[in-house]
Amino acid sequence: MNGTRIAGLGHYLPERVLSNADIERMVDTSDQWIRDRTGIEQRHVAAPHETSSSLGYRAALMALEQARVNPEDIDLIIGATTTPDGLFPSAASLIQDRLGAVNAGAYDVNAACMGFLSAFSAATQYIATGAYQRVLVVGTEVLSRIVNWQDRGTCVLFGDGAGAVLLEAAPYGGPLGFVLHSDGSRKLYLYAEGPCGPRDAEGNGAPPHLCMINMDGPALFKFAVNAMANAVREALGKSQLSVADVDVLLPHQANLRIIQGTAKSLGIPEDKAVVTIHRYGNTSSASIPIAMSEAARAGRFEEGARIAICSFGGGLAWGSMIYEWSTTGVAPERRPVAAASASGG
């Protein structure tokens, strides 16, 4: 079984910044209300000509440049998005074409905010089995296209952006354990209808407001903290590690209070959590790779660090991965595993 090293990372945010003050002029809300309840100060919004594939291409290009890898050397591209350019082809295929990755297969994963973790876990398994040597994972979203800008409960939350990770087979590094869960019975907590949904007797589809993001905020908040914390505990158990072995918590950036609640539930100090939500809002599938790219550039991840990645999203879907960080693929001097129970914290 192969290990996996992080060969390159990239992220891209559209130029336009939408501040809380800007949203105050659109709906009945306030900067203080948004900051207090979400931790968000601003978010980026795609220009009319930008799409998920164009944002994803920019992030992917940055990752390949850092890795010094030619596009034709990529074996597979997995896109994670809920807002593809169209129903088909996949955003990953459009990114593959624009990069010139002529030897790569490509497909999308749509698991809402769980999209990146789902795609990332699949990518590591392609490498672990030896099927592929280099896999590019791109999380990219233009959520501004499906936000109801008259709904003050949701329009303050979301932003656009993209993040990319190039994974490469190596002797060391990669997932120590991961879990993926889903409960479709909770669909109405967070959903958006689409053009292929059910029709009424007259042949009409869902009304426009149901084709935008709809959310039961209180129910989702209560679910999210427990789901992410429990998923981390499960992944730690599979990794034969304890909460004390976690060096960095890398959560989906949905709400600052959810991030804080998850850290508290696990007993992980808040300063171990990567937080970008104040600048970008919730970018769904893009939130974790953007945060990963920024944190790596800031020196947050040492070689051999154990990263607890966790997420939740529409489905409802949730999960976690304990990832042993390596950019070199060479094992550092191994530190001892903490003595606490794997379910501790």
What does the pLDDT look like over 63-72, one tens digit per residue?
999 999 999 9
What does the pLDDT look like over 148-162, one tens digit per residue?
999 999 999 999 999
113 catalytic? Reply is yes
d(CA 87, CA 232): 33
User: CA dist 279 to 87, 209, 254, 276, Å?
Assistant: 30, 27, 12, 6
The answer on pLDDT for 143 being more than 60 is: yes
pLDDT at position 317 is 97
Q: Which of 44, 148, 214, 252 is an active site residue?
A: 252
Whether pTM > 0.75 for this model: the answer is yes
pLDDT at position 201 is 87
| DSSP assigned state of 273 | B
pLDDT at position 1 is 72
The answer on pLDDT for 202 being more than 90 is: no
d(CA 103, CA 8): 19
The answer on pLDDT for 335 being more than 80 is: no
Provide the token pair at 233: 């505990």
- Of how many residues is the chain composed? 345
Q: Which of 20, 44, 282, 310 is an active site residue?
A: 282
Domains of the chain: 3-174 (3.40.47.10), 176-324 (3.40.47.10)
d(CA 292, CA 286): 10
Strands 306-313 and 248-251: parallel
Per-residue confidence band for 333, with pLDDT thresholds at 50, 70 and 90: confident
What does the pLDDT look like over 239-289, one tens digit per residue?
999 999 999 999 999 999 999 999 999 999 999 999 999 999 999 999 999
Q: Which of 11, 113, 155, 310 is an active site residue?
A: 113
The answer on pLDDT for 220 being more than 60 is: yes
Per-residue confidence band for 341, with pLDDT thresholds at 50, 70 and 90: very low
